[in-house]
Structure 1
Amino acid sequence: MAATDFAAEIRSLRSTLDSIQAVSDPVALRTKIADLSEQASAPDLWDDPDAAQVVTSALSHSQSELERLERFGSRIDDLETLVEMATEDVAANPADVAQALDEAEAELSVIRNDLRDLEVRTLLSGEYDIREAVVTIRSGAGGVDAADFAEMLMRMYLRWAERHGYPTTVLDTSYAEEAGLKSATFEVKAPYAFGNLSVEAGTHRLVRISPFDNQGRRQTSFAAVEVIPLIETTDSVEIPENEIKVDVFRSSGPGGQSVNTTDSAVRMTHIPTGIVVSMQNEKSQIQNRAAALRVLQSRLLLQRQAEENAAKKLMAGDIKASWGDQMRSYVLHPYQMVKDLRTEYEVGNTSGVFDGEIDDFIEAGIRWRRSQDLPE
């Protein structure tokens, strides 16, 4: 195995970090932190708890971003020092030199991967990318296989969140009669959850030997994934009461005490748009109503953004009917493969993907989306 050219690798790391800093702009970040710190120290800050939460969250996030950028510079400096100490001491024990270079190799790999993650983060510059996410999965064509596929996708995303330590809350589950889910909605509560998961939105296709077909035939089924940013109190998406219809009903499916015994589930319909949101996973009708309103506001917020983008494309004369197109295939028979049809990224480890190993798909999707936004 060829020896690592540490000098070239370190130059590459510094070049990548310089590119990231050019986009992140540490000087502007420090100015922003100073302004937010001044707001956070105001004696009347907590007179408005919602506004105070926005300020303190923004301050914490900005401080973390700056610390991360500055820490990378120190880590690269430390790596360079380690390599120099190992290679310049001619009297050093060869075994000690080898051990030091092994440590340097390991640290180089870690820094390279961490920088790649940070580089992807800099591509998440959309208006709502920093938000937490609300994910809805619906079964499509394919009968019971589609319902089972919807449940597989839900587990995949929940496992992805678990791998990253992101808290999740299941808001609604509608179970199919035989197996799987008709639909499910859950929150992923982490910064940039929307930016990351938004590239997962679209139609997903599964090809496999159906476990529900007694003749063992191959079945193709579909499921739709919707990802919206979680609403914040500062977004001001006001919905007049006369535009909302609220129905209450008894929850269905597995549940604990009181979940299936009272009319606690809520179905909220936005009359002008026809958007329907159902919530049944909380025990209280009040809690389900609040959760339903939050998701409805989020969907209206995303719809407003989509309409604004469509208007801009119309003025530019560039309209592409791509919404809802199949974006990924999961093939379990006659071979094993998961392939994203937009980015062409594919892997053969289907079990790993369904267990939440989708970071490479998300990264490829983010880079692909940025390339679509760049002028030709």
Structure 2
Amino acid sequence: MHPEVVADLESLNTTLTTVEKVMDLDELRSRIAELEMQASDPELWNDQDHAQQVTSRLSHAQSEMRRVTELRSRLEDLPVLYELVEMEEGEAQTAAQADADAERASLRADIEAMEVKTMLAGEYDEREAVVNIRSGAGGIDAADWAQMLMRMYIRWAEQHGYGVEVYDTSYAEEAGIKSATFVVKAPYMYGTLSVEQGTHRLVRISPFDNQGRRQTSFAEVEVLPVVETTDHIDIDENEVKVDVYRSSGPGGQSVNTTDSAVRLTHIPTGIVVTCQNEKSQLQNKASAMRVLAAKLLERKRQEERAQLDALKSDSGSSWGNQMRSYVLHPYQMVKDLRTNVEGNNPTAVLDGDLDEFIEAGIRWRMNDGEA
């Protein structure tokens, strides 16, 4: 093998070995065995929420084990591919060399993606994620832009096999949405998607302007960790004002016929949460309470972080403002303003091809941003 190839294989082995140590494969095997035992308990499904949590964690753990095992297997196979190259001649050797180099490049990308996952070690990183999207400046274009972002994240989740549950969609009058709240239901979604938080900017020729002028629109993305029973977020029912009303916008047969939509107002903080996507008022209230708890947990975390920041001389590490631009005219580009990662295919990104930007965001947070 060429010395450059040998050095690269050694580098890949070093990175993958570090990943395996951080993941602690022995502990992962034990966790899988424990979760398999819980999943086989016939009484597990007496508690639907707990059962779904167990099966989701088991599926995620098995997937992680499968991925790292496959990476190790592919790395061990690479020297054999290069040995086969040396046995060929002429055009066959050229083709075999190209195949081996392509597999090495693909393996490097997959190992680096796995390495990024090991960086998710924050207090709430392993939680599922509550995603809130709100239209900002830009009128009808901003409402359309908010709906495009919602579709982008749901498409990304679907492509990875992650479940999504939409809690609330507030439709704008002409097109698009004023706001939406949905949960991405898989482990480590908060740690993964929290780097998407901030203001997203779209530049394009407005489809709503009969003069075909260029329009800049803004939408805000907020990502919260799903609250668990260990978080001690106690909500006094006497401090929550509950309003019920008839759902609006597109929906199923029963959505618009009864007063099933619920609006919760947390009186001490002024936080308002709505949910209108379930059939019953009871289901909507339960979903809205989960989102309210997530918002109160985030408020508590921000207060604690503010106290810590007050002790630091450098407070310029915030990245919660404008963080990514999507340009559809006069040229095609998506650029992350924190990591400087950019691409020239915004259509693919808006169709859910987000991994490169998310992975770069996680690395940026680890190295330069907030821990």
Q: Specify the TM-score bucket, using the shorter chain as the normaliser.
A: 0.7 to 0.9
User: Match for 1:298: what amino acid?
Assistant: A
| C-alpha distance 39-311 of structure 1, shift in aligned 2 (>3 A) | farther
> Which residue is equivalent to 1:349?
345
Instruction: Find the aligned partners of 1:134 and 1:96 in 2 and give their Cα distance.
Output: 52
In 1: Cα distance, 2:9 partner to 2:138 partner? 52
Alignment length, in residue pairs? 369
Distance 1:226 1:305 in 2: 14
The CA distance in 2 between the partners of 1:332 and 1:97, in whole Å, is 43
Q: Note closer, same or farther for the CA distance 1:214–1:200 as it changes in structure 2 (3 Å cut).
A: same
Q: What is aligned with 2:179?
A: 183
In the TM superposition, residue 246 of structure 1 has moved relative to its aligned partner by: 1.0
Greater shift after overlay, 77-86 or 349-358?
77-86
% same residue: 59
Contact in 1 for aligned 2:318/2:370 (Cα 8 Å): no
After alignment, is 360-369 or 202-211 more displaced?
Answer: 202-211
Which one of 139, 144, 148 corresponds to residue 143 of structure 1?
139
Change (3 A) 1:213 1:52: closer
The C-alpha deviation readout for 1:62-108, integer Å capped at 9, x for no partner, is 45434543442232112223333553x5xx67676556545433432
Q: CA contact under 8 A between 2:38 and 2:44: conserved in structure 1?
A: no
Residues of 2 paired with 1:16 and 1:142: CA distance?
A: 45
Matched, 1:281 2:277: yes
Which residue in 2 is equivalent to 1:12? 11
The reply to whether residue 72 of structure 1 matches residue 71 of structure 2 is yes
2:39–2:51 contact (8 Å) kept in structure 1: no
Contact 1:36 1:58 in 2 (8 A): no
Moved more, 265-274 or 229-238: 229-238
Corresponding position of 1:304: 300
> Structure 1's 345 and 37: CA in aligned 2 closer, same or farther, altered over 3 A?
closer
| Contact 1:45 1:52 (8 Å CA) reproduced | no
Inter-CA distance 117–323: structure 2 relative to 1 (3 Å threshold): closer
Distance in 2 (CA, whole Å) between partners of 1:352 and 1:129 is 27
SS at match of 1:316: coil
Are the aligned partners of 2:56 and 2:187 in contact in 1 as well (CA < 8 Å)? no
Q: Which moved more, 1:214-223 or 1:101-110?
A: 101-110
Distance 1:249 1:43, change over 3 A: closer
- After TM superposition, the score normalised by the length of structure 1 is 0.86
Question: Secondary structure of 1:158's match?
Answer: helix
Alpha carbons of structure 1 residues 27 and 308: separation in structure 2 relative to 1, 3 Å = farther
Q: Give 5+ residue unaligned stretches, structure 1.
A: none
1:298–1:70: structure 2 CA closer, same or farther, 3 Å change rule? same
TM-score (norm 2): 0.87
Which whole-Å deviations, capped at 9, do the CAs of 1:331-363 have from their partners, x for residues lacking one? 223322221111112222122222222221111
Deviations 1:231-273 (A, max 9, x none): 2344342212112111100000112212111100001111221
Do 2:57 and 2:187's aligned partners in 1 also have CA atoms closer than 8 Å?
no
Displacement of 1:41 after TM fit? 10
